[in-house]
Amino acid sequence: MDDLLSKLNPWTEALNAKGSAFALGVSATSATLLDFTPGIKNLVVQPGKGFVPGMDLVLADSAVPTNRMLTTCTAYNVETGALQVEVYSSTGTGTPSAWSISMTAAVDAAAFVTPTGIQTLTNKTLESPALTGIPTTPTAAPGTNTTQVASTAFVRAAVTALINSSPAALDTLNELAAALGNDANFAATMTSALAAKAPLASPALTGIPTAPTATPETDSTQLATTAFAQRLATGRRRMTAQGAVAANKVVVLNSNGSVSTVGYSVNPGALGAEQTPAISGDFVQMIDCPGSNKVVLLTTTHLHVGTVDGNTGTTTWGAGTALPTGSLNRICWHPVESVVCMTFFNASAAYLQLGTISGSTISLGSAQSLGAAVAPTGGTRLSLCYNAHQNKIVVLYLSTTTNINAVAVQVASGVMTSGTAVSAGTTSGSYFAGAVCSRPGVPEVVVSYATAMTAYAARALTVNATALTARTAVTVSGSFDARQTAWMEYVPSADRFVVVAGNNTTSSVLAMLALSGTAVSVAMTFATAATFWSGGSVDNAQQPFAYDIVKGELVFFGLESSTAYARTASAAVTGSTLVFGPTTYINTSTSSVPVMTYNSSEDKAVFAYVDAGNSNLKTTRVWDTGDSVTNANAWIGITAAAIADGAQGLVITKGGVASGLSGLATGYTYYIDDLGELQQTGSRRAGVALSATELLLTGNM
């Protein structure tokens, strides 16, 4: 191309000379920054030039003239010097800013074919070429049907599409013909054969037609055989569900003829009268003092001692003891020393303080610093618990904005001796939502804490005298917003730790943990409390639940989400689930800041709340949690499939065979426990296992 352009230069110079005679020119310079990509380019040159649309121009890099672009002028403003060109060929790289522009002929060296050597041909016409070697060509798109050259890849793809993953025995025409019996009239042959068959619509069958026998629980339009009909002679009935019932669940017969899952009903005891004692501060927490009829109520400013009278259903409250300067207080009971242990945050440290009860008053000793601390985001409270195995108090607090410390404290005769603090976990942004709880008989305590605003974890700490060893942490998943206080209770009857933690948008969430040796596992991930408690919400900024040692259940206290009425319900922990009993209203007007505890000596629950329906007075009330009674004795059968609330479904009743079960031991007798689960021991006989999945329901024969 260089040789060609050099031959054209004299012509170009002559033309420029001629243009100069008319005060015009077809060469110019530009300082516009341009790259070498094809397409439209806009640049500024000297005004008054003779550039016109359609004129072929060469733009050469002034620094490296061999780097240039062949273009066609598309527009030029003779007054401003604004020039627009379209690049159709270029050599060079980079983005030069110094250009020489001159007129040239529309010649592209790539348009010529050299007689020897290798050259790429683009849009060229060759007549009857005799190609040798292994010539290549672009592969056409699938389905192309033109005179374009076909590559081997195009042909292979077309053949593959024709075969369309056919099996190897049917991917050739010869194999297809053999499969059709080499019958050129196969369609007619099949039509004649089908004409002799019974129609699908209203077939008139003769002889002894047979069909597969449906499984016993089948309840559809599937054809029924005589064997299926015989099975239906006894032991099957369509019934309406009261409440949704899952498949393969034991159901009871209700008084209205419907069925529902096995559950507990409560024979409630007496609900004591509302009392409005003189309580200072806002409610935070209430604890039991085991072995006595005393409870201790923590507010934001005071500690109050209450004496519970189970006979009258009342609590007598003593005058409050003012709290020391500080905040974020939490309390627990030390059963050996018979003292209240209170932890709190003040200025830049975490403290522990002891309170001694005398009658209806409590006196506080000197506070002892546990180490430097910071206030958690959102005011979430510190946490502490008593470990009976080591007779130690374990305190959980935020030592920095990213670290959660735990420390074990020896309490003896009013003297506190703290061990070395260890890191119990890390968090971010001062989020905490920490809780600590102990299981009797082992040196471990379980801690749960927020690792971030929407992330939670748990781990075990082994207590050895005043030394702590942090074990491996596990993640607790679920929708969760860690901005409020967390609470944790151990349920001995199920060997589970239940956590209620802060969710800034939906009030509270529940999770369940298990402890095996020094390893914590997650039995149930976080889910909203309303999922379990039918629209109720516990206020996790205050203590929301306590363990009823007589019933072996958790007693929850919270607010009805639609009315904010104060209400309570007991919940049995079964495996990894919570089974709530009926709700009892403690107050039927708008309530707030609910706290509670269970007094084991009087076997009563004590509630405290603010009653908006009574001039926002601080109110307390005693409740007999009553007895839980299972309705499992009224069982009638096992569901064959899931039944929606109010819908009808098939129930396998006594005399029938329930299938679709799992894990049964063939030949063993099974019984129904209080929660409707099948067990190999008990008093409510369900039936005999015919296989690992089938149970012949016999009842108590």
Residue 264, pLDDT above cutoff 90: no
Compute the distance between CA of residue 236 and CA of residue 697 in angstroms, rounded to an integer: 11
Could you please report the per-residue DSSP string of 22-91?
Answer: TT--SEEEE-----S-SEEEEEE--SS----TT-EEEEEESSSTTSEEEEEEEEE-TTT-EEEEEEEEEE
40 belongs to a structural domain: yes
Task: List the one residue out of 421, 428, 340 whose CA is nearest residue 377.
Answer: 428
Please tell me the total count of domains within the chain: 3
165, part of any domain: no
CA 259 to mean position of chain CA atoms: 33
**CATH number of the structural domain spanning residue 408:** 2.120.10.70
Q: Is the pTM of this model over 0.75?
A: no
499 and 435 Cβ atoms separated by less than 8 Å: yes
Tens of pLDDT along 62-84? 999 999 999 999 999 999 999 99
Q: Give the residue from 499, 529, 559 where a domain finishes.
A: 529
Q: Read off the pLDDT band of 183 (50, 70, 90).
A: confident
Point out the domain boundary residue: 529, 546, 566. Answer: 529
Mean pLDDT of 606-631: 89
Cβ proximity of 434 and 449 under 8 Å: yes
pLDDT, average across residues 378-401: 91
pLDDT score recorded for residue 628: 64
- Which candidate, 266, 303, 259, places its Cα nearest to that of 281? 303
Tokens (6 digits) for 283: 């409610």
* Domain edge (last residue) among 75, 92, 111: 111
Q: How confident is the model at residue 531 (pLDDT cuts 50, 70, 90)?
A: low
425 shares its domain with 509:
yes
pLDDT tens per residue across span 41-52: 999 999 999 899
Q: Are residues 337 and 403 in the same domain?
A: yes
Top-ranked range on mean pLDDT: pick from 30-34, 102-106, 193-197, 623-627: 30-34
- Please determine, for residue 85, whether its predicted confidence score (pLDDT) is greater than 60: yes
Residue 12 lies in a domain: yes
**Measured distance CA(359)–CA(400) in Å, rounded:** 40
Q: Identify the pLDDT of residue 500.
A: 87
Same domain, 13 and 99: yes
The DSSP code sequence of 334-385 is ETTTTEEEEEEEETTEEEEEEEEEETTEEEE---EEEEE--PPGGGPPPEEE
- Encoding tokens for residue 415? 């003297």
pLDDT digits (tens, 9 = 90+) for 273-309: 999 999 999 999 999 999 899 999 999 999 999 999 9
Least confident of 245-259, 263-277, 664-678: 263-277
Least confident range of 154-163, 234-243, 298-307, 475-484 = 475-484
| Cα–Cα dist 152/139, whole Å | 8
The confidence band for 442, taking pLDDT boundaries of 50, 70 and 90, is very high
Q: Best-predicted range by mean pLDDT among 76-80, 179-183, 208-212?
A: 76-80
**Tens-digit pLDDT profile for residues 244-256:** 999 999 999 998 9
Q: Identify whether residues 299 and 400 lie together within a single domain.
A: yes
pLDDT category at 227 given cuts 50, 70, 90 is low
Say yes or no to pLDDT of 541 above 70: no
Pair (507, 367) in one structural domain: yes
Handedness of CA 191, 192, 194, 195 (dihedral sign): positive
* Those residues with Cβ within 8 angstroms of residue 509's Cβ, 6 or more apart along the chain or in another chain: 478, 479, 480, 500, 501, 502, 503, 526, 527, 528, 529
Q: Is 3 helix (H, G, I), strand (E, B) or coil?
A: helix
Two structure tokens written together for 404: 């959660």
Whether residues 393 and 495 share a domain: the answer is: yes
What pLDDT does 123 receive? 57
Question: How confident is the model at residue 436, as a pLDDT?
Answer: 95
Q: How crowded is residue 530: how many other Cβ atoms within 10 Å of its Cβ?
A: 18
More confident position, 105 or 590: 590
More confident residue, 211 or 166: 211
Non-local (6+) Cβ contacts of 156 within 8 A are none
| Whether pLDDT at 3 is above 60 | no
Q: Supply φ then ψ for residue 548, to 5 degrees.
A: -90, 105
Q: Are 496 and 513 in contact (CB under 8 A)?
A: yes
Query: Bigger pLDDT: 174 or 84?
Result: 84
Q: Does an H or E element contain 231, and which?
A: helix 226-231
* pLDDT score, position 604: 93
Percent of the chain with pLDDT over 90: 53
Residues 255 and 379 in one domain: no
pLDDT (0 to 100) of residue 19: 46
Q: Is the pLDDT of residue 415 over 50?
A: yes
Does residue 193 sit within a domain? no
Q: Rounded mean pLDDT of the chain?
A: 86
Residue 666: domain span: 226-263+636-697
pLDDT of residue 23: 44
Mean pLDDT of 220-234: 68
Residue 396 pLDDT: 95
Angstrom distance (rounded) from CA 605 to CA 624: 6
Q: Are residues 333 and 449 in the same domain?
A: yes
- Which CATH number do you get for residue 78? 2.40.10.170
Q: What's the length of the chain?
A: 701
Statement to judge: residues 236 and 308 lie in one domain: no
Residue 511 lies in a domain: yes
Rounded to 5°, the CA angle 82-87-89 comes to 150
Q: What pLDDT shows up at residue 471? A: 96
Please check whether residues 351 and 253 belong to one and the same domain.
no
Mean pLDDT calculated for residue range 397-412: 95
What pLDDT score does 116 carry?
47
Q: Report pLDDT for 517.
A: 92
Residues 453 and 370 in one domain: yes
Confidence class for position 20, pLDDT limits 50, 70, 90: very low
Q: To 5 degrees, how large is the angle CA 425–CA 427–CA 428?
A: 160
Same domain, 359 and 422: yes
pLDDT above 80 (res 540) = no
Report d(CA 296, CA 606) in Å as an integer.
Answer: 11
Confidence band (pLDDT; 50, 70, 90) for 21? very low
- pLDDT(4) > 80: no
Q: Is the pLDDT of residue 17 over 50?
A: no
Digit-coded pLDDT (tens) for 494-514: 899 999 886 655 567 788 999
Assigned token pair, 177: 């013909």
More confident residue, 148 or 396: 396
Whether the CB-CB separation of 594 and 583 falls below 8 Å is answered with: no
Q: What is the mean pLDDT of residues 306-328?
A: 93
